[in-house]
Amino acid sequence: MLNRIIDFSLQNRLLVIVATVLLIIFGSIVASRMEVDCSSTRL
């Protein structure tokens, strides 16, 4: 199973690179819009 994924990735490098860049951009947008709770409570 892992060998098939690696073979696919090696044969379709451009697709893998584009998908990685899109995930990084999407993750950055989501992370920047997330609200952070600043109220820390000590136990």
- CB-based contacts of 38-43 (< 8 A; 24+ apart in sequence): none
pLDDT tens, residue by residue, 1-43: 999 999 999 999 999 999 999 999 999 999 999 988 777 666 5
- Would the pTM count as exceeding 0.75? no
